Structure 1
Amino acid sequence: MNDAYAAHPAVLSDLIPKSLVRDAALVIGAAGLTGVAAQVSIPLPGTPVPFTLQTFAVLLAGAALGLPRAFLGMALYLALGQLGVPWFASSGGNATLGYVVGFVLAASVVGALASRGGDRTAPRTFATMLFGTLLIYAVGVPWLMVATGLSLPAAFAAGVVPFLIGDAVKVLVATGLLPAAWKLTRR
């Protein structure tokens, strides 16, 4: 890393003065935002996986918080949901838990990429968000196969195909938001 890059914040949340309280609030906030986004849950025919805004929250949290805080936020979301906090999407049950596990991986990788500038320009943000989305699918689809007994083609048809347009919109919105947020921070 060169000195010019080191003088700039790695991720958007680094613009807030560093403290343990800040980091705890950001981690709890990421988990909470994902839980709220899960409440926008639309059941789709032919799949146990509902359409939600969770993936959008996960990708934004990853980019805004960076690797360690994004990982902790999604791990907290997963752990508290498993302990009974009612903030997972209302339908889907165990069949969708793989996607939630994928959130931890995706937020971590998106956070790592963002800390290296993966959210500074539209093309890099698009690639970062697309990769994060693919990671969620990569964990969610095999879990869906095991939980439901679906074959790979059937799980892909139920766990990916119905979400392609919605996830593309989420990636495109993030592609517009994140570079714009960085431009706003340059005074």
Structure 2
Amino acid sequence: MAQDLRDLFAKERKSQRYTMREGHEDRFLDLLDEKLPAKKVRKKQYSWIGIAASVVLLVALGTYFLIPSAPVEEGIKTIVVEQNTGIGLGDLSPELQKIETYYTTNINVALANLQVSDDNKEIVDGYLERLEELNKEYQELNKELNEIGPNDQTIAAMVQNLQLRAQLLQKLNEKLNQLKSSKNEQETNII
């Protein structure tokens, strides 16, 4: 009575041979072609457009990242946006890269949105001189980071420098808005 189940199943598999009816495979393939027609060769005709677009994209990205950025013109003063050489703050960890990207983006946007006129020229020059000093300090901290290596004090100083620059530009914006609103009030009082 003790039979091995594996042997029993193997014998049964051998004894039952399933066969398809004649022409079943051909009917199945015809039905498959009818429901899912074969794709046309259009891909090969337009593949050169994809290659050309890829080349244009690579050239554009290469020129954007490889050519050093030009100074940001501020009408009267010029501030050079920092170019990191070697290890930068963002190279140390993804969190620090997010912080650095956040602050540098905000700084660059604030610089781009500055509206310098003859009325606010002196105020803007003062703030931009301080911003230039902070930029030089950041470059020195970046050199220190590359020479000595990453440490908590240097990283904290670099993040604080970025924060100070962002705060400085925010204060400049507030000062310019105050100047603009006071000028508008004076004009309405005259009228």
TM-score of the aligned structures, taking structure 2 as reference length: 0.25
Using the size of structure 1 for normalisation, the TM-score is 0.25
Q: Which structure has the larger Rg over C-alpha atoms?
A: 2
